[in-house]
Structure 1
């Protein structure tokens, strides 16, 4: 018997016994991810309102930080991002509190979104270098101020070509990851002739820096059925080959496949086929009216 190896094993077991946090870095989570956007609709939703299943990895996504002024009308700031989410109910101290209470929770912020005060939140850089410089400065400051873990890219309007978008966003993601400012990144594309080409250009060149694809399946037509949804999913798996494609639905009046029409049936099929990475919902603000019924159902599906 090798007593030296036995002694080392004994010391290791003793160390782990006295340091249980080293055995499990967090809760016993399922391999699936649940994400929820919140803060954009002014419904006074807080982190504590949303049900959190301790057995799934959970991301809150603050919506939105926008590179526009708060003037009327809002004006583009060439990459200098300002907080447009509900900062009173989703403050830095509340971010820290929810993360302390739930070890499985991380918090990100989403950049841009659809509109700002009724105007398109367009990607409108003066130049690649100046936009990247301003974005690095402002995003880094917001991440540190709010104790955030990641960022999401959700531009939906563009005043430049796909290659410029790819270069600006790609350089920003590279800096944030290279310098460990954030631990994960995501993009939120959808099927649109003016939108998808920008994200595909970004994916082709900088896809290795993108951890999740929050594909907006709720941007497909209302009345989508299970079969159509599964076809849409396969199309986007091909478009973002190798990416972690999250399925989604909206609790607002958006389209796509709704839970009451078979979303969870489709998700169960993908899960059984080993294709499911996770679910995200737009948005907690809209779900408040239904007491977050579908958030609970989505997380239960992912946890089992």
Structure 2
């Protein structure tokens, strides 16, 4: 083979590798996700507007492996329901899913606090925590007819590797058992938090479908250009993942909807990088008549 043909062959192979790599990156998505039920503000699934042209996920917040007594303490993977189950009951889950074919419902585990105290990931051992978590969460997921799980631990007594093994094995087992069809994680840019989630991603990223990155944990004065930089950083941290843009509806942090959030999302979508949008949370958005949920879904529904 002469040099010219060898050059063409190598160039073709390099191009194919580049295309394959580009295809491995998560493309634009019409996914909209909304956390609901954590603040007990009597919000119902039916309160939230649902655009039929998006994939819509409610995320019940939270299931927590703590007791439900006033002196809550860790229970080594034995989860209980801590969301507003009066307004967000199993029958109401079934009702909203039957009314809207594009709706799925998941639950989030962990959370920031319980009964006013920080909620810690505090396993006794990997094996015992995973066994208890699989058992208790399977019961809740099947009772509520749920579709997926979200990981939102924010405080840790266990080390990074223990967290990665516990959560990774939990997700893997629930998927292998056919209990869930999707899983997501909800990290934010804090050294300790990031180190735990990046350890999880390194070992078990292949079983994690979405990264609900908490961009609203950045300063309230975040600009569009800063947001774009933050987004690129997290695309690098969770390489190959489907990274969702996010805002908090009480206006307490990050790039606010009224200050350019949708400008940033439009830019990301034009670049083929928008994995979807999620909101924390429906409880606070109810007072705003879900104005920004409607706008988010309208943007996502525009053909790619």
TM-score, reference length from structure 1: 0.89
Q: Closer, same or farther in 2 for the Cα pair 1:158/1:78, shift >3 Å?
A: same
Which structure 1 residue ranges, 5 or more long, are not aligned? Answer: 1-29
Q: Kindly state the Cα deviation for residue 253 of structure 1 after the two structures are TM-superposed.
A: 4.0
Question: Partners of 1:100 and 1:253 in 2: how far apart?
Answer: 33
Question: Partners of 1:140 and 1:260 in 2: how far apart?
Answer: 40
Question: Partners of 1:72 and 1:35 in 2: how far apart?
Answer: 31
8 Å contact kept, 2:65–2:74: yes
1:107-126 matches, within 5 Å, as 107-126=105-124
Tell me what 2:84 maps to.
86
Residue 225 of structure 2 is aligned to residue 227 of structure 1 = yes
8 Å contact kept, 2:45–2:92: yes
Question: Partners of 1:116 and 1:170 in 2: how far apart?
Answer: 24
- Aligned to 1:194, the other structure's residue is in SS state helix
Tell me what 2:133 maps to.
135
- Aligned to 1:152, the other structure's residue is in SS state strand
- Aligned to 1:199, the other structure's residue is in SS state helix
Tell me what 2:174 maps to.
176
Q: 1:55 aligns with which of 53, 56, 60?
A: 53
Tell me what 2:158 maps to.
160
1:57-91: per-residue Cα shift (whole Å, max 9, x none)? 00000000000001122011000000000000000
Question: Partners of 2:29 and 2:288 in 1: how far apart?
Answer: 27
TM-score, reference length from structure 2: 0.89
Tell me what 1:5 maps to.
none
Q: 1:261 aligns with which of 254, 259, 262?
A: 259
Q: Which 4+ stretches in 1 moved above 4 angstroms?
A: none
Question: Partners of 2:247 and 2:88 in 1: how far apart?
Answer: 23
RMSD: 0.8
